[in-house]
Structures are given as C-alpha cells and as structure tokens.
Amino acid sequence: MLMDPSRHGRIDRSIAAADEIELLQAKLPGTGLTDSEPLSFEPKELRRKRLERVRDMMRDKDYAACILFDPNNQRYATGSRNMFGYFLRNSTRYIYVPVEGPVILFEYPQSAHVSASLETIDETRDSRIVWSSVRGADDDTGGLFAREIADLLRTHTSGGKRVGLDRCYLNLARSLESLGLTAVDCQQDLLRARAVKLPEEIACLKLSMINSEAAVYELQQAIRPGITEQELFARMYGAVIAHGGEMIETRLLSSGPRTNPWFNEAGSKRLRAGELVALDTDTIGNFGYYSDFSRTFFCGPGKPTGAQKSLYAMAYDQVQHNMSILKPGMTCREVAEQAWSIPDRYFEQRYTSVMHGCGLHGENPFIAHAADFDRFGADGMIGPGMVLCVESYIGEVNGAEGVKLEEEVRVTESGIERISTYPFDDQLLPREV
C-alpha cells in the first residue's frame, strides 16, 4: 500500500518516469553524442567542466599527468565509456591526461569509434597492455607502456616527472619509475576533486533517481506471497535498464528472516504474507550517475506487527534526524557526534556509515559512526554541492527481521534538498509523519 503522495512524496514522479526520460531524450540536438552524457542540457559543457576540475587538481598537486584506469574516473574526465563492467575488473584500458596538452585514449582494439565524437579525446591509440596478462607478457608490455608515457611527457610537458595513477598493475608503476618518473597514487585526489557536484551533475543525479524510483515502483507493485526475491530483483533491474540506466552494483534485496542481518543478497526464497521486504538500489543509472536509496515494504495480505512497526519507526527517525542536522560548514566528525543515538540492543548491527557521498558511485566523504570514527572515519568538511546518502539499518542480533531505509540529499547553502522522494509505506509507520 502506498502512502498518500500529498503527504509523503510524489509517487506520480515515479509512475511518469519513463515519459519524462523520453521527453528529455527527444531534446537531443544533432548526432554523435555518447549515451554516457546527459541529454537534457549541453553535454560538452559538462565534459569541459569536469576535465577542467581534474586539471585544476593536477596543478594543485603538481602532477605532470594522470593515467586513468578506473572507468569511473575515465568517464568523469572525458565522458568516455566502453565495456564499463569489463574494465571494472580488467584495468587495461587507460586515458593519458596531461596537465596541458592532448588527452590520449589507449583503447581496446577495434573499438575506438565508440568515443570518436568526444571533443575531450584528442587522440586514440591501441592499449599496450590489453591482452598482456593473458599471454604472459606483462614484463614486456610494461616497458612499452612506460616508454610511451615518458615520450609523451617529454613532448608535451615542461619536464614534470610526477605521474598520477588511479589504479594499475604493480609492474606498470615500476616500469615508469625505472625511467626516472615518479608514480603516485592519485585516486584520493580525484575523489576529493569530484566530491562537490557541478550543477549539470546534480541534474544527472536527479534524472537517475527518477529512473530508480520508477524501477522500485514496479518492484513494489509485484510484491506478493509466492514471488521469489530474485524475481523481484529482476523486475527492478529490468526497469532500470529499460529507462536508460546501466547496472546495479549489488543484489541487496531480502525478505523475512533474511532481512536480519543486513547484506543478504537476493535469492530463491519465496515471500510469505506478513513478511518485510527490504532493498537498496545501488544503481549506476542514467549517464553513469549513481542512485542510492533504500526502502522496506510489507508483504500483505494482513497487517504489520507491532514489532515490525517499531523497527520501521526507529529507522525512519534515524534517517530524518540525521538529515535534519546536515548543514554546510559542519565537519564529518561533528555530523557523527550529532547523529541519531542508536539504542543499545540495535547498535551491534548498525549500518557501516552514518552517511556517504554519492556521484558516479558511492564516493567521498564516508562519515562513520562516532564510536567508529577514529578507526574508519576521515576528517573533512561538508560543503554546498555535495550529495550524500543518509543510511539506516535497524535490527538486533538474532532478531526476526530488520529494516533498511536510506535517502539521497544535496547539501545547499542553507541545509539540504532531497533528491530521493519515494514514499514510505504508511502500513509500517505507527503515526502520522
């Protein structure tokens, strides 16, 4: 049962998501644009701003060049995407980004045409390392890779030796250093540069959320006794793809006793009447931007128990409180210290963070609970333009069930704006909210 949208959210936003996405796509002018970029505004401007932000970071950190292996950083810096899932596990496609000079894509053979229209890519060459591990030639190709990078630096930079690598094989870093270059892990510098979102990125995140909310709506309509968790997950995943999304990073959908503890993946279990169904979207959606919110639903017929309502109310209170304290200028530690106090009986199975950043995936900052901050947390400041996912999981050790809720918000100059608007289930709320 859905809540009254006039009180609790705009469910019509989810129902009409497909029409809205089609309308935005219809505005695409011309041809030759990649589908890794937004269609509702000028894609070139987004790509230009993101590349400039990367280069600003490089100037600040004194990088002569960065070599990007992570598909997320490749997409951020240039808009280029090719076989995204494949290169998440096989880091052999790379992009050379000098602080000044031509950006060069070292591409999987025979696929350079995929990025041919991008003005951010000045030249395309075949990757030197794409099949080296398969044929046992890592040592040989490492030398070829390093000599080519060293030659580019000599040609296009003024003697800089500091080269950033966001991820790579050890032999590649050693090969660079054997030629007198300094190989530096630049992943954290890139993540910090990406933490504050451009206005165009906020638009991408919002459209990605529309897609995910539409997918969750389709899933919610399919909840009934007898359907399996995997069948429900397939409803959501299929809708994500049909509406222009790309992939779901996790399979976090569970029901009944499998909701406690959290992190059980969708399986063959069939739903039963009277059980809870919990999910986390974890979706790389439209234009590569992440959509990350969580909901827990009741599987009827029947009515929820008092225990189920109590779990839900606590999770709801945790999310609402932690959203309410967010404002620009707070430190991550201050957020952790002011966060909702989890009752002792549920503390052991707390979610791993109070909240975390959101962009092309789950990003910086990661705000740990106060009790965990010295072990897992990191210093930092909350600023306007950051997008955060506010987390809750409530379930006691050996409890019958648990509740997962999460909201995605943008930090503004004065507080927050909700990006996720999907309604809560009023069957599980014990009071008017």
Mean pLDDT on 228-240: 98
Nearest to 99 by CA among 65, 145, 150: 65
Percent of the chain with pLDDT over 90: 82
What pLDDT score does 245 carry?
A: 94
Mean pLDDT on 405-425: 97
What pLDDT score does 40 carry?
A: 60
What pLDDT score does 90 carry?
A: 87
pTM, whole model, 2 decimals?
0.89
Flag whether pLDDT at 390 surpasses 60.
yes
Flag whether pLDDT at 3 surpasses 60.
no
What's the number of CA atoms in the CB half-sphere (13 Å) around residue 26? Answer: 6
The residue behind tokens 């979706």 is 283
Please report which confidence band the pLDDT of residue 134 belongs to, taking 50, 70 and 90 as the band edges: low
Fold for the domain defined by 43-194: Creatine Amidinohydrolase; Chain A, domain 1 (3.40.350)
pLDDT in tens, 343-358: 999 999 999 999 999 9
Percent of the chain with pLDDT over 70: 88
Reported as type and span, the H/E element at residue 312 is helix 306-324
Domain spans of the chain? 43-194, 196-418
Is pLDDT larger for residue 398 or for residue 431? Answer: 398
Q: Is the dihedral of CA 354, 244, 103, 173 positive or negative?
A: positive
CA end-to-end distance (rounded Å), the chain: 16
**Gyration radius from the chain CA atoms:** 23
What pLDDT score does 300 carry?
A: 96
Identify each DSSP E strand in 201-308 by its residue range: 247-248, 253-255, 276-280, 283-284, 290-291, 294-298
Q: Please provide the DSSP assignment of 40-109 as one string.
A: SS-HHHHHHHHHHHHHHHHHHHT-SEEEE-SHHHHHHHH---SSHHHHHH----EEEEESSS--EEEEPT
| Beta strand 162-165 pairing with 182-185 | parallel
What pLDDT score does 195 carry?
A: 96
pLDDT in tens, 26-80: 333 332 334 444 456 688 999 999 999 999 999 999 999 999 999 999 999 999 9
pLDDT in tens, 294-310: 999 999 999 999 999 99
CATH architecture of 196-418: Alpha-Beta Complex (3.90)
Q: Where are the alpha helices (DSSP H) in 344-426?
A: 344-347, 373-376
